[in-house]
Amino acid sequence: MISDRVRVRFAPSPTGYLHVGGLRTALYNYLFAKKNNGSFILRIEDTDRARFVEGAVENLIDTLKWSGLTIDEGPGNEGAYGPYTQSERLSIYQEQTQKLIDSGNAYYCFCSKQRLEEMREERKEQGAQPVYDKHCLHLSKDQIKSNIDSGLPYVIRLNVKPGEKIYVNDLIRGNIEFDSSTVDDQVLMKSDGYPTYHLANVVDDHLMKITHVIRGEEWLPSTPKHVLLYKFFGWEIPGFAHLPLLLNPDRTKLSKRQGDVAVEDYRSKGYLKEALINFVALLGWNAGDDREFYYLSELVENFSLERVNKAGAVFNLEKLDWLNAEHLRAKDNADLLKLLRNELKINPEVEDDFTDEYLVQVIEAMRERVKFVKEIVDTGIYFFTPPVNYDEASVAKNWKSDSAVNLSLLNEKIAELENPVKDDFENALRHAAVELSTGAGKIIHPLRIALSGVSGGPGVFDIAYILGKEECMRRIKRAIDKLG
């Protein structure tokens, strides 16, 4: 019997990395569970040994943990229905497969790969569905025993009866009807003794009391096989919800050929987990209004499967970048300080010996100007190390024949300041401009070059105040020496 309490699972295969589509599946399962006070289970489906990648399980768990999707049960967090790794459950699948054989709902198949290929080609030429022709269904018990005793490789197939209607009630797509004549006698148990996805996921979902199966649209054609398995076992069928495809901007299926598809890639590029989760949530779901900025707790509060679209969702990188900037600006200084220190740690140009107070000033100056924390370092490198070179275009435009003289006087004015605040630097410059009978602009632009080496960035007096009196004076003198 299915549990009265909502229980959902995310069941990835450990094939190397977590696809952003996989993250969305995990997220929607998590949101549905938490909205309904249910449980979110992680199950590792590692029965395809040919595609298994060493270390992938640990990577999956680490990525989910990073994203904030805390599991209630799974590897390393065992519950009452483990083990949660399919390769540790082989005896369970063998026992359940035998039940299907005994009831006539599954059978041994000894066909060679060559025969299967020839049969499928022949059926295609005849215009028939390229499904298995049930050649081995009617083998006698003696034939089966003889084949097994002689070591002949075999698989075990689902026995699909032709001419029947199979109904799937999908929570997103409504009622869907399938003709059993188009459904293959799916292999349930492979010749290596490992189950296929189809058998293992149905058995596990039942034994783990999964109430709702929320997964990608690509599994919809397989669902009639799963419904038949539930019926053959005499088990209650869970609710199904098949999520829309993720699409490239040209509306082709999202693929690595057109950009990054691994969550790890976005993490390493500096995207905030809050922004990525927010973005992925909106790939196929909305709350029925124009709101786009969400925290995870707010997604839980607003989520419902009824608001998930059927149509494919376009992966718009510009929107992700915008959300990253919005989440960055919404973070408090303490959070950004930790992230900034991490960036400084991995930057070879910088030695992080800065005080928290100094870095918070840099954060406040740069917050509105960047989309990523790493851009605080990349575009504001002058806050962390003096400029070695000066932007040529800016020098050509703004460093004039009198700039050295103007800045020399400004340096004298700065030297007279005691514990200066931002306005003191501005007043010093304006007093220098008056004495020189020149416009403040003729000093401001060269000052920016001297302090930062570039033409853009926060206000020049903000930069001066953050760097402090002594550092400003050193940089001005160095620029005069170098640029003349």
Helical segments of 303-421, H only: 317-330, 333-345, 356-366, 373-378, 392-398, 403-415
DSSP string for residues in 148-198: HHTT---EEEE-PPTT-EEEEEETTTEEEEEEGGGS---EEE-TTSPBPHH
Q: Are strands 212-216 and 187-189 parallel, antiparallel or unpaired?
A: unpaired
The CB density around residue 410, as the number of other CB atoms within 10 Å, is 26
Per the structure block, which two tokens stand in for 173?
Answer: 């797509």
Per the structure block, which two tokens stand in for 305?
Answer: 């499967």
> Do the Cβ atoms of 21 and 287 come closer than 8 Å?
no
Q: Which of 256, 338, 397, 400 is catalytic?
A: 256
Alpha carbon distance 367, 185 (integer Å):
59
Alpha carbon distance 454, 450 (integer Å):
8
Residue type, 205: D
Alpha carbon distance 152, 366 (integer Å):
70
Ramachandran sector of residue 139 (left: φ over 0; alpha: ψ -120 to 50; beta: rest): beta
Of 233, 238, 232, nearest in space to 213 by CA: 238
Q: Is 338 a catalytic residue?
A: no
Catalogue the active-site residues.
256
